[in-house]
Chains A and B, each alone.
Chain A
């Protein structure tokens, strides 16, 4: 359904929802309820700037749906937040938490400002000001924020501190993204990457394939890819090549080793932004190919873990015929056009909001540990992560199998169904 007028993220999200709702024959009341956020808060944050003058900033928090549990979602600092984008993002959070079967709803919020124009002290004032305005409506059992665009650990800690001052107590469960030692959870670094590979493992089982016989190729070598590659290797799989962005040459390259990459060594020559040192890689015996080569490599599994819109209508044709599974480690790496082609070819797709749900799951674990004020060992975190991801995957794949659906569609259906059911169970509709 083409919408007249300019691009609107919220309308796009609604369109997606409508399609799924149609498919499952959702009743009107549920549609009405889930098409829009339950609650939105808009407020003003006056701040005294360093030079003594005052400035007023706009803050907001959008809580889409909390039938399944407290809302979860990031806070962003952005110079021009349109409320539509925020609404769309809060909606996607609901679906994400639902598909991972976490007892959480979806939310999103932020402040209209640009940290490049603000000193550290001013940013602190904004964070505390935000909490002061919304302190009654967020909390460990109501709405749990997290870092997002242009916000970081420090901002979260200031917000936590302000909240605790207002409410008089320790409430580490208010917010996630805290550092280990200050209420953060172990295993966060590995969570997304490992999570993706847990779903992959289940997918392989379903297709009666063994990791030991499988090869994979990856786009991007950042946090997600590095840990995914590590776990995949540990399971016996082989990663043939990875691509990465070379900041100096301003282009991407694919690094290939037919016997399989050595994750540890390769990580050692990778910088913080996922850029692999080309010269050192060559010295270690890697072939250096063009940036697109990862896509056409002869392998069983594709792992796009870099940016969005990487597999498009134009290049979907170059995917090797051997590829059986695509695991979307990144957000939105496949365009709708390409999606259709992949569906037609019968490649098994693990969609982004299922495959990379490891991150939000670990966030949830942080919240749980914080509420208990007891923090698990890393092995425990990862074991629980495995269990949750496996379960999430099997629910979705079961629906896909039974109803002969594309995995992406099945995932949406599972998510929406769960949320709608929760609303019914509570007697809302």
Chain B
């Protein structure tokens, strides 16, 4: 029997889109906050903490958006901080909210995340500004080229071809058709993936998550309250000079997902999970490229190393499988950077509540693993939720 750290009282997200011209950043936060409180049936005056996940800020063009975007929101008078761990920010912020509640420092903490990716005409260019141009970059190239190295090494090591690898995004895009919040809701075929333009071989455009605007909110309360429980967290940082680690044989953790596996082991230990294949009923994992989902499945111990792609081709990890992975369509179908980790928590919560609508998995789940990765495999976060 695992120990409940805190409870998910309410969740909300807005439909993800490339552009959301009808909203300002503050609008997004306000609307999603209101919806999360309505979902929890909690009055705004009963929220005594607020955490904002926002990173990187360069896409928004405002350095510290909390000074103008939080006014009047529930818990804003007791703002507990902005969290910045790149695409892991949402999950890290959720973990911190659980820590504040678990420590008795606050009773109800609202976690908010939003992104307006269209504020910048060049999202990739904006993210590149994140690095100091006058110092040696910590990684060569951008995300696509880095994960292309990862994907090609994985294919070579496990005897896989591009067709084997395409099963991930085809599965996710099919799942996304039933997700009313997904940005991409059209199913695709393996042939379409293979025929899409190469970004950095072997990664193709349809292997990658889209540029996304969106917002998400989770209200966290004490362990004793009814709702989905957070029962374990684990993290791992292997941040130092990624460029030097992107050579097979030098440091395999970039290629085999073993850093994420370390985070998973930590989370499992806290949650009392020693056999994830038997004890985990679903997973929502952050994967901005298909290769990341395969590595996450293996890191979470849901398949043996190198087997995830073949198993997926056989139907494992699909929505009707024993352990569905990204039944929502995952980041393949929409991934606002700051909120994508929080959306994993929301989707897992909806599944555990049995409220996921058309994307609800068939077998009533009791437990879920969620994961997120910050940077280029530099920060790893795993959380365990239980019904």
**Do A and B come from the same complex?**
no
Interface residues of B (CB under 8 A from A): none
